[in-house]
Amino acid sequence: MTDTMEQFKVHKGLVVPLDRVNVDTDQIIPKQFLKRVERTGFGQYLFYDWRYNVDGEPNPEFVLNSPRFRRGTVLLTGANFGCGSSREHAAWALLDYGFKVVIASSYADIFYNNCFKNGILPVTLEEATVRQLFGEVAKAEGYAIVVDLQNQLIQKPNGSIPFNIDLFRKRCLLEGLDDISMTLKHEEMIQSYEEKLKPFQMIDVRRE
């Protein structure tokens, strides 16, 4: 079962700075929370070990617990984001929390692919540009950007930043196509092919 993936065209959101490198998927969504069978409900456990103290109380030092960033929908983070295990739950947790865009200088390949499958746009920028954004966010409360996928452009308060993206992945996000919906676009061709195969399918012959 899959939910229809939302189309991604233009998104405006508050930027949340998570200035850490090599953030792995077990930090994004710890393994003890992977027993859920639905894709929803993981947002409450996002970055759980950093977000909460051992007594279960919110860690006031962690960025998601800051009133300044609680409504953020754009995650700005360090290199090699999403490394570690291949769990798709990491993308589910980010999306369920409310993140629509992740910005970093590099990602783990499987996590990067999982973002596109779930309607999250992972933007890759040069490390120097990422560092500049961290500086700008720190200086300006309520720092928000507009991410325009069609034109591959980030509009920020003091300028714009172009970004590159694979054309096929871009199309999937613009049209809201995940793996299943991509297949269903060819449903008529698949049914036609199956009809042609029927005369050649093996007949169950019972031995006497």
pLDDT tens string 71-85 = 999 999 999 999 999
pLDDT at 188 (0 to 100): 57
CATH 3.40.50.720 fits 10-200, yes or no: no
* pTM score: 0.85
Mean pLDDT, residues 43-50: 97
Q: Where are the domains of the chain?
A: 10-200
Mean pLDDT, residues 20-42: 93
Q: What gap in Å lies between CA 175 and CA 6, rounded to an integer? A: 8
Yes or no: say if 63 and 4 are a contact pair by the CB < 8 Å rule. no
pLDDT at 12 (0 to 100): 98
Q: What angle separates helix 109-117 from helix 89-97, to the nearest 10 degrees?
A: 50
- Quick one: DSSP state of residue 157? T
Q: What gap in Å lies between CA 181 and CA 5, rounded to an integer? A: 9
pLDDT for residue 183 is more than 80? no
Q: What is the DSSP string of 154-167?
A: EEETTEEEE----H
